[in-house]
Amino acid sequence: MKAVVRTRYGDSDVLRMTTLAQPVPRRNEVLVRVMAAGLDYGQWHLMAGKPYAMRLATGLRKPRQPVLGMDLSGVVEAVGAEVTRFKVGDAVFGASSRTYADFASVREDELCLKPARLSFEQAAAAAISGVTALVGLRDVAKVQPGQSVCVIGAGGGVGSFAIQLARHFGAEVAAVCSTSKVEFVRALGATSVIDYTKQPLPTDGRFDVILDLAGHRPLGMLRGALAPRGTLVLVGGEAGDRITGGMGRMLRALLWSVFLEQRLCMLVSFVKPEPLQALADILALPGVTPAVDRVLPLEQVADGMRALVSGRVRGKLVLRVAA
């Protein structure tokens, strides 16, 4: 099978197409013929090996796992002996590893049936970004109808889900983004839009919840926009030093929160069975739809990485794997 690999850390030039043996599913795994796979900053970090602290898990000098990819959608090709939820021919989506390839062996609990209303490309954009937004709003912030939610970094993969899910939960949504994404986030359902190139965050404590996906604003600034008993959820971000990335700001937020009435929380999200199924149930109905900026063939993964870094992607990039 064809697959995208890298044998060292670096920019998109380290990526190459190669041919590998087709995986064999274990007893609790499903062999998926990958139709499409999502591309996001998580894969950029794995490619670049930054921040450096992540190499403790991925390999200090070079990647332990050469094949990239986590998000996927596809069709079940074979099932292991202990698999009960899926059968050959089922259309599925989820998140695993080594998905930038023709086939992927995926644990049964890492998959859900693909909602019929979604294309394979839309479903491939859903699991990681959608679950992150869902867990941040539903489980961490505990968003309630009528609350005011501010999504910073609203034009990206997680942000585009967060706008729609916050509205799904009955909240009013203020979206923070650049000028080029104003109309995009408004079309997703944002009640109001703050163009950060033209105006700062308000300092009147108007937001019950702030979901910060951008990762570079000072905590004091965010607290000024947050209600006295509001909740700030810090989700990743591309700021910080080369060693720890945005973790320093997250850890400071946790420390401050001990002494404040405001809740300052960090979210390091993983795709688990319950929120993935909850997301699938939401996506089965009209109202929340993965926002796909463009679909590129797998062979153009390097172009996708460069587009991602440019900051001009609206929603999510997707790689088409099957012809």
- Which tokens sit at 295? 């679909």
**What order do you get walking across the sheet with 172-177 strand by strand?**
192-195, 172-177, 148-152, 207-212, 226-235, 263-267
Kindly tell me if the per-residue pLDDT of 259 is higher than 80.
Answer: no
pLDDT band at 242 (very low <50, low <70, confident <90, very high): low
Q: Superfamily assignment of 130-267 in CATH?
A: NAD(P)-binding Rossmann-like Domain (3.40.50.720)
Residue predicted with more confidence, 249 or 184:
184
**pTM for this predicted structure:** 0.93
β-bridge pairing 16-19 and 2-5: antiparallel
State the average pLDDT over residues 113-137.
Answer: 98
pLDDT band at 243 (very low <50, low <70, confident <90, very high): low
State the average pLDDT over residues 65-73.
Answer: 96
> Per-residue pLDDT tens for 184-209?
999 999 999 999 999 999 999 999 99
Same fold, 2-126+290-320 and 130-267: no
Kindly tell me if the per-residue pLDDT of 241 is higher than 60.
Answer: no
pLDDT value at residue 177: 96
Give which of 111, 194, 183, 182 is closest to 149, Cα–Cα: 194
Mean of per-residue pLDDT scores for the chain: 93
Whole-number Å distance between alpha carbons of 145 and 168:
9
CB atoms within 10 A of CB 218: 9
Q: Superfamily assignment of 2-126+290-320 in CATH?
A: Medium-chain alcohol dehydrogenases, catalytic domain (3.90.180.10)
Phi and psi angles of residue 43, each rounded to the nearest 5 degrees, phi first: -70, -30
pLDDT band at 256 (very low <50, low <70, confident <90, very high): confident
DSSP letters spanning 212-228: E-S--S-HHHHHHHEEE
Where exactly are the structural domains of the chain? 2-126+290-320, 130-267
- Percentage of residues in the chain having pLDDT higher than 90: 82
Lowest mean pLDDT among 49-63, 202-216, 285-299, 306-320: 49-63
- Write the CA distances from 317 to 13, 19, 52, integer angstroms: 18, 24, 25
Kindly tell me if the per-residue pLDDT of 244 is higher than 60.
Answer: no
> Per-residue pLDDT tens for 6-41?
999 999 999 999 999 999 999 999 999 999 999 998
Whole-number Å distance between alpha carbons of 141 and 133:
11
CB 131 within 8 A of CB 167: no
